[in-house]
Amino acid sequence: MKKFIINGGKPLKGEVLVSGAKNSTVALIPAAIMGNSPVSLDGVPDIADVKALIEILEDFNCEVSFENNHLVIDPEHMVNIPMPEGKIQSLRASYYFMGALLAKYGEGVVGLPGGCSIGPRPIDLHIKGFEALGVVIENQQGAIHFSTPNGLHGAEIYMDVVSVGATINVMLAATMAKGKTTTENAAREPEIIDVVSLLNKMGAKIKGAGTSTIRIEGVDELTGTNHQIIPDRIEAGTYLTAAAAIGQGVTVKNVIFEHIEGFVAKMGEMGVQMDIYEDEIYVHPAQEDLAMVSIKTMPYPGFATDLQQPITPLLLKAQGEGTIEDTIYPKRIKHIPELVRMGAQAKVLNDQIHLSGPSCLRGAEVTASDLRAGACLINAALMAEGRTDLYGAEHILRGYDKIADKLQHLGADIELVEE
């Protein structure tokens, strides 16, 4: 078991570099197996989810090398075998292998996906989209068996709910289906554009990424290529929040402002002073007169669900009362009892978070229930008086590349220890 030990109250100062996007990477890696020659990915974050995906690639007999955030995947000698259930249970994003295996082989066996426990995240939309493309699906003993007795074919698909996962998964399968596929009410997140960018470099014919309508003309084969992953907008938001709460002048580098425009606007509404440049944001020294705001998460370009937890400690520093309503994952509330243990004036009523500030946070023993709750508790511990022992560090290491090292470089007193 790993935990973070954080002695709070240390001001942050200097520069921090944002890594490549975790939510892109976990889709780009399965997409890479669809080619017939090596794919090179630059800017791959060194996180637990990537290591889990690499293990799955190696089980498929792909040749893989990963060093200094550079990942090379060679699928030339790949073998389509049932995906081991234990590894599938370790991360949600393993479901992208469904679409990739369908495109490459027309069949496969995939265990039901795991990942963070933040409430139900059904894959019904994925299955509905696959079935429209001609896929026959059976659930046998906790694993999904899928086949295409008549081959993959294009279709008109309408997503009942805006879903990043379903949009990407169906797109992967449709990339090598016969004919044309149109997906309406598609998700618009930057990570989808990133995946489409890779696929088109490999020879796919996809248009409309970043809009609600994606059009795909199926191709017979894909080839290897090189690709630079976009910066992680959630990691950027996490560090921007910490800088606003306890910084003495922090520059967050490798940021695409347009990807977090709604988040930055909400921080500006609170009174946080920032200077925005082409690929970095400077956060002025922390202020004590911040205004409380209310947040409602929405599909992109709205306020990201992955950022509502990391920003919560900053809201607790603000004056007044506010609410957080997560319309994407309403059960994403498990960080609140832990914050209350640290002295937060917060409660949950009918899945809506109610906050009162300013709250004076104190160090405590707390546990991260999921990835973004962990980021929230790190930010809270940086602000708190005294020592915090943050258990469940494994969740945080799933998605944040060298987070302890980066925060130490800014002046934080944080250490990752193993018990």
* Binding site members for UDP-N-acetyl-alpha-D-glucosamine: 92, 121-125, 306, 328
Q: Give the three-class secondary structure for 147.
A: strand
Residue 116 falls in the annotated catalytic set: yes
Determine which one of 62, 116, 360, 376 is catalytic.
Answer: 116
Q: Which helix (H) or strand (E) holds 2?
A: strand 2-7
Element housing 146 (H / E):
strand 143-147
Distance CA 22, CA 203 (A): 24
Q: For residues 145 and 152, what is the distance between their CA atoms, to the nearest angstrom?
A: 15
Q: Which region, left, alpha or beta, applies to residue 418 given φ > 0 means left and ψ of -120 to 50 means alpha? A: beta
Give yes or no for a contact between 191 and 215, defined as CB atoms under 8 angstroms apart. no
Residue ranges of alpha helices (H) inside 247-384 are 261-270, 305-317, 335-341, 371-383
Q: Under 8 Å CB-to-CB from 240, ≥6 apart: which residues?
A: 252, 260, 263, 264, 267, 274, 281, 283
Residue ranges of the annotated binding site are 22-23, 92, 121-125, 306, 328
User: Which has the closest alpha carbon to 139: 121, 123, 120, 162?
Assistant: 123
Residues 317, 345: contact at Cβ < 8 Å? no
Helix (H, G, I), strand (E, B) or coil at 66: strand
Residue with tokens 């309406």: 184
To which H or E segment does residue 59 belong?
helix 48-59
Partners of 127 in the beta sheet? Answer: none
Q: Are 133 and 154 in contact, with CB atoms under 8 Å apart?
A: yes
Beginning with the edge strand found earlier in the chain, give each strand of the sheet holding 280-283 in spatial order: 12-17, 247-253, 280-283, 274-276
Are 56 and 30 a contacting pair, CB within 8 Å? no
CA torsion through residues 42, 43, 49, 50, sign: positive
The alpha carbon of residue 124 and the mean position of all alpha carbons in its chain are separated, in whole angstroms, by 20
Active site residues: 116
